Chains A and B, each alone.
Chain A
């Protein structure tokens, strides 16, 4: 088992009222799964993804990731955990504008303090695998949306995470680019990477092995 959420509640207080973002979420994810989270706007999809990604906290409940109790870990320890095992892919790609494709790919490795020669080799591998060797010295602004997302996924993959969290990865792409990306995810999943994606599209959700539906912070 990769991770387990038990009775997760998340809320904010607004004007004396408690507004629930997540309500009693119970979820088990096995390694190798490809899960699609669906639901209308504001149903808590992204929040759930952020909680799983440890970018966001929660008020109640237990979260176990690879047998580590995330809810009782210190900030730094938690950061080490997701740095090691989780890769993020965003709808707006979120590449560092000031860095070239190559440097963007290198960044997570720098944070993992991987040695220079090894780093170079891993970046070269990844450029090769995604067929973007020719683009390595370009800046994000010089790429198309699909290409940027390709780099985004490559960056998420470079530190060989066990889990990829993708928040509407095709939301800003046209349909053919979107299909390409989804095919890529499928292929990655086949290679053993666990994937959780948030999506609006039934078609994209169909790439996955399981669908979770959210409504007003509750799993249905």
Chain B
């Protein structure tokens, strides 16, 4: 019986080629999209699963309240560790204080490379379950040791055995390689941790770090823990909640500590007002929903085409029933057919996914590989096929098998109104979804463009920054600047303690004239050289720029436009700020000017109140170089590199284009936008395939009617209009459904951004117009073909 079903299904499919291609093609596309999204979601959900203890690792975070606003910080004071070790050690398997993502120069045998890694305490390798390739796992025991990941070990040592060899760090001190571990996987929070050194090594080499050993006010470290087997995160969280508050007598920020479990790091890392508020998980949901909808669209195609063809199949149903088939047998047969179609579609979908996985990985910034070898994948795939076959096949199977043989065998059978109504509902659903996708994609693109077009406050083009955190750069900036200017490669150079595209430190605690009482100050603070404004092409709004020739300028600051409001100083130039000390306010600094706001952080948020202070010491982390517009970028870089090599022969020449760094701020949203754009395109394509098929059947069904109308004098245009009208009504109805829904959803999405577009009516009108145009183009081919056919032919048959 099964063989017979499959045989007849196969013959049916091969006989109606266009139907089959539309059906299998549409389903394959839909399944490919769903499969791709499923792989993406799986990848997102298994983030950090590579760590053996991932269910017991957490980071300690603190909710601290400034001026009534609660922020969640990961920065911790050094002495917190000691309290936890002394009083709470029962709760933890590991307590690991950490200074993370520190770039360092590693040198061996004259070879010098720059790598980023962590300074962590001894339990780290065990906690992170590092896979050792060589050396010992307990490799942070000795203060002067370093553990390298495999690729860094290879870059430094080649085929040589690195264990026991000594590496020079920043030209400051030597450390012995104690272990080599496998590179951490890309889908983990510690991906890119190229080395591990003991935290004690970091503290020994930094004076400030030695000084804060008992300072609860300085938050410069992060703290990771692995809790004990017999307890839970929430248990431990409630125990340690007030540790910082209790120890820190001047705890003005009402700090509350809690554990942030590793499984949440990637997907639920946003906090609002001290509460966890989602994060990337939103996108996981979003894509999950898109995946389901795209699959639904493809299934609807199948349903509609199958029921539209019902007149053709009705005779078969009648015959089968008259020679003894039960309805249940017919249902099985039709389900078998949809199963067959879905099987073919799935095979094509696998091929599609296989072929496009590389480009998808590029687009999504993933390294997803196809899980061919995983039995679970095939189990899930079988379920997927079965589910899709049922979803797509059950309605047509029920519908087709319900025909009464007496009616259909008389030859007078016409699919009545009750068949076309569900079909119309399904088409409306399809187009509502497609249109909502169009609207969503357009709004995402608009929002990204909106933020991109926002004035950044400075001239990003032709600006290059050199990271200069190595000790070797200290004090060399003036000489370096003079020679660069002489080389003609640049027109100006400045230094700064934060990059132009970020805020590395904020500061509070200072006071000024007219400051409101109990005002908890929190401002971005950047040390800059006097040429900062010049090199960035910043506009001075009030007052004046720094000047090297005025000796008093070393105690002056510039503030940005936002800071005027924040500080409540409508006329700030000439006002002073002080730092409070035990001996009263000290270090008076004068505001000499106000500069235009610079977007250093999120382009979707307001600019933070900022202070640019004249850098008297060597606080430079970056050199900012304004390239000489008279030469090409390549020429400029060549002359800069020449000067660089003269001054720092042992250092690699590393530079970043500021406009590229700035562009990275949009990467996440752009990626989401691109992905949803692609999925939208596919969703529309699938819907159009279905519509195309449906239009061909409607035209075929009405061949006789068209023939009669033409004999009575209807023009091609009349017939085209008649056939298109029915569909257009459905599209208009779809817009009425899609527009309010997408407005609601997209408005919610936009609320996440402070700097956002206002939803305009024309976006929706445009989407509706677009859908109408697409519909007309899709169905016109069939409509015109039907309208041009010779009426004599269509009337002669029967």
Q: Chain A 90-122 against B: per-residue CB contact (8 Å), 1 yes, 0 no?
A: 101011111100010011101111000000000
B1-15 residues with Cβ-Cβ distance < 8 A to A are 1, 4, 7-8, 11-12, 15
* The one of B11, B323, B329 that contacts A98, using a Cβ cutoff of 8 Å: B11
Question: Does B219 have its Cβ within 8 Å of any Cβ on chain A?
Answer: no
Chain A residue with the shortest CB-CB distance to B315: A94
- Asked, given contacts A55-B322, A79-B324, A98-B8, whether A92 binds B411 with beta carbons under 8 Å apart, the answer is yes
Decide: B411 and A107 in contact? CB cutoff 8 A: no
Q: Does A79 contact B326, Cβ atoms closer than 8 Å?
A: yes
Q: Give the chain B neighbours of A46 by CB distance below 8 A.
A: 410
Given A55-B405, A82-B324, A112-B324, A98-B319 contact (CB < 8 Å): no
Q: Mark B314-338, 1 if CB is under 8 A from A, else 0.
A: 0110111111111101000000000
Tell me which residues across on chain A come within 8 A of B409, comparing CB atoms.
90, 92, 94
A177 sits at the interface (CB 8 A): no
- A168-B647 Cα distance, complex, nearest whole Å: 107
Q: Is A76 in contact with chain B by the CB < 8 A criterion?
A: yes
A4 contacts partner chain B, Cβ-Cβ < 8 Å: no
B406 touching A56, Cβ below 8 Å: yes
CB closest chain-B residue, reference A83: B324
Give CA–CA (A96, B317) in the complex, Å: 10
Indicate if the CB atoms of B4 and A107 lie closer than 8 Å.
Answer: yes
| Distance of B581 from chain A, by nearest CB (Å) | 95
A88 interface contact, C-beta 8 A: yes
Contact with A along B1-44 (1 / 0, CB 8 A): 10010011001100100000000000000000000000000000
- Whether A45 is near chain B, meaning CB under 8 Å from some CB there, is no
For the complex, give the distance between the alpha carbons of A107 and B1 in Å: 9
CB neighbours (8 Å) of A111 from chain B are 320, 323-326, 329
Interface bin, chain A: 20 to 34
Residue pair A159, B12 in contact (C-beta under 8 Å) = no
Among A87, A94, A159, point to the contact of B319 (Cβ < 8 A): A94
Within 8 A of A (CB), among B320-370: 320-327, 329
Per-residue contact bits, chain A 177-218, to B (CB 8 Å; 1 contact, 0 not) = 000000000000000000000000000000000000000000
A56–B15 Cα distance when bound, in Å, is 32
Residues of the A chain whose Cβ atoms lie less than 8 Å from the Cβ of B318: 94
Contact with A along B584-627 (1 / 0, CB 8 A): 00000000000000000000000000000000000000000000
Of the candidates A50, A108, A113, which one forms a contact with B323 in the assembled complex, judged by CB atoms under 8 Å apart? A108
Which residue of B is nearest A90, CB measured?
A: B409
CB neighbours of A55 from chain B (8 A) = 321-322, 404-406
Interface contact B4-A106, CB-CB below 8 Å:
yes
Q: Mark A17-43, 1 if CB is under 8 A from B, else 0.
A: 000000000000000000000000000
Q: Collect the chain B residues with CB atoms within 8 Å of residue A87's CB.
A: 323
List B contacts of A96 (CB < 8 A): 8, 316, 319-320
The reply to whether the CB of A53 lies closer than 8 angstroms to some CB of chain B is yes
- Measured between alpha carbons, how far is A51 from B701 in the docked complex, in Å? 31
Of all chain A residues, the one with the shortest Cβ separation from B8 is A98
Q: A56-B406, A94-B409, A98-B15 are in contact. Are A103 and B322 (CB under 8 A)?
A: no
Given the interface pairs A96-B316, A110-B1, the reply to whether A88 lies near B322 with Cβ below 8 Å is yes
Task: Please pick, from B315, B316, B324, B411, the residue contacting A108 in the complex, using a CB distance under 8 A.
Answer: B324
Q: How would residues 67 to 99 of chain A score, 1 for a CB under 8 Å from any chain B CB and 0 otherwise?
A: 000000001100100110001101010111111
**In the complex the two chains form, is A88's CB within 8 Å of B323's CB?**
yes
B291-317: which residues lie under 8 A (CB-CB) from chain A? Answer: 315-316
How many residues of chain B are within 8 Å of chain A by beta carbon?
26
CA distance A124 to B323 in the complex (A): 19
Query: Is A155 a contact of B322 with CB atoms below 8 Å?
Result: no
A53-B322 CB under 8 A given contacts A96-B8, A96-B316, A111-B329: yes
Closest to B324 in A: A83
Which of A97, A106, A156 has the most chain B CB within a 10 Å cutoff? A97
> Cβ of A50 and Cβ of B8 under 8 Å apart?
no
Instruction: Say yes or no: B326 contacts A76, CB within 8 Å.
Output: yes
| A108→B323 CA distance, assembly (Å) | 6
> Which B-chain residue is minimally distant from A84 (CB atoms)?
B324
Contacts of B405 in A (CB 8 A): 55
Q: Which residue of A lies closest to B14 (CB)?
A: A98
Q: Give every chain B residue within 8 A of A75 (Cβ-Cβ).
A: 327
A50–B406 contact, CB under 8 A? yes
In angstroms, Cα B1 to Cα A94, docked, is: 20
Q: Min CB distance, B404 to chain A, in Å?
A: 8
Name the A residues within 8 Å of B323 (CB-CB).
83, 87-88, 107-108, 111, 155-156
Q: How far is the CB of B479 from chain A (nearest CB, A)?
A: 89
Q: How many angstroms from the CA of A111 to the CA of B318 in the assembled complex?
A: 14
Q: How far is the CA of A25 from the CA of B320 in the complex (A)?
A: 28
Q: Are B406 and A110 within 8 A (Cβ)?
A: no
- B4 x A110 contact (CB < 8 A): yes
What are the residues of chain A within 8 A of B316 when measuring CB–CB? 96-98
Question: Which residues of chain A come closer than 8 Å to B406, judged between CB atoms?
Answer: 50, 55-56
Q: How far is the CB of A42 from chain B (nearest CB, A)?
A: 13
Q: With A and B bound together, what is the CA distance between A87 and B315 in angstroms?
A: 17
Closest CB of chain B to A65's CB: distance in Å? 15
User: Could you tell me if B4 and A103 are in contact, using CB atoms closer than 8 angstroms?
Assistant: yes
Q: Which chain B residues lie closer than 8 Å to A56 at the CB level?
A: 404, 406
Q: Which residue of chain B has its CB nearest to the CB of A79?
A: B326
- Residues of B497-537 at the interface with A, using a CB-CB cut-off of 8 Å, are none
Q: Please name all residues of chain A whose beta carbon is closer than 8 Å to the beta carbon of B315 when the two chains form the complex.
A: 94
- Chain A residues closer than 8 Å to B410, beta-carbon distance: 46
Cα of A90 to Cα of B321 in the assembled complex, Å: 13
A163–chain B nearest beta-carbon distance, Å: 13
Q: Which residues of B contact A112 (CB under 8 A)?
A: 324
Chain B residues with CB under 8 Å of A76's CB are: 326
* Chain A residues positioned under 8 Å from B325 (CB to CB): 111
Contacts of A94 in B (CB 8 A): 315, 318-319, 322, 409
CA–CA, A155 to B323, complex, Å? Answer: 8
Query: Which residues of A lie under 8 Å from residue B4 when comparing CB positions?
Result: 103, 106-107, 110
Q: How far is the CA of A107 from the CA of B320 in the complex (A)?
A: 8
| A-side contacts of B326, CB under 8 Å | 76, 79, 111
Q: Which residues of B contact A92 (CB under 8 A)?
A: 409, 411
Q: Which listed residue, B8, B321, B327, touches A99 by the CB 8 Å rule?
A: B8
When the two chains form their complex, are residues B7 and A103 in contact, meaning their CB atoms are under 8 A apart? Answer: yes
Per the bound structure, the CA–CA distance linking A159 and B323 in Å amounts to 10
Distance from A123 Cβ to chain B, minimum over Cβ atoms (Å): 13
Bound form: Cα–Cα A76–B330 in Å = 13
- B328 and chain A: residue at smallest CB distance: A76
Q: How far is the CA of A159 from the CA of B325 in the complex (A)?
A: 13
How far is it, in angstroms, between the C-alpha of A108 and the C-alpha of B15 when the chains are bound? 23
For the complex, what is the distance from the CA of A145 to the CA of B1, rounded to whole Å? 28
The smallest beta-carbon distance between B316 and chain A, in angstroms, is 6
CA distance A96 to B319 in the complex (A): 7
Give the shortest distance, in Å, between A105 (CB) and chain B (any CB). Answer: 10
How far, in Å, is B567 (CB) from chain A's closest CB? 84
Smallest CB separation, B152 vs chain A (Å): 66
Q: How far is the CA of A55 from the CA of B732 in the complex (A)?
A: 43
Bound CA span A36–B202, Å: 108
Question: Please, how many angstroms separate the alpha-carbon atoms of A44 and B320 in the complex?
Answer: 24
Question: In the docked arrangement, what's the CA distance between A106 and B323, Å?
Answer: 11
Query: What chain B residues lie within 8 Å of A50 (beta carbons)?
Result: 406
A189 to B326 Cα, complex, angstroms: 29
Contacts of A103 in B (CB 8 A): 4, 7
How distant is the Cα of A85 from the Cα of B339 in the complex, in angstroms?
Answer: 33
A186 to B434, CA, bound (A): 64
How far, in Å, is B482 (CB) from chain A's closest CB? Answer: 89
Assuming A88-B323, A94-B319, what are 18 further A-B pairs, CB within 8 angstroms?
A55-B405, A55-B406, A56-B406, A75-B327, A83-B323, A87-B323, A88-B322, A90-B409, A96-B8, A98-B12, A99-B7, A103-B4, A103-B7, A106-B4, A108-B324, A110-B1, A111-B320, A156-B323
A/B interface sample: 13 pairs, CB < 8 A: A53-B322, A55-B322, A55-B404, A88-B323, A94-B322, A96-B316, A96-B320, A98-B11, A98-B15, A99-B8, A99-B11, A107-B320, A110-B1
Give the 10 A-B residue pairs with the shortest CB-CB distance, closest first. A83-B324, A111-B324, A98-B11, A108-B323, A56-B406, A94-B319, A88-B322, A55-B406, A55-B405, A50-B406
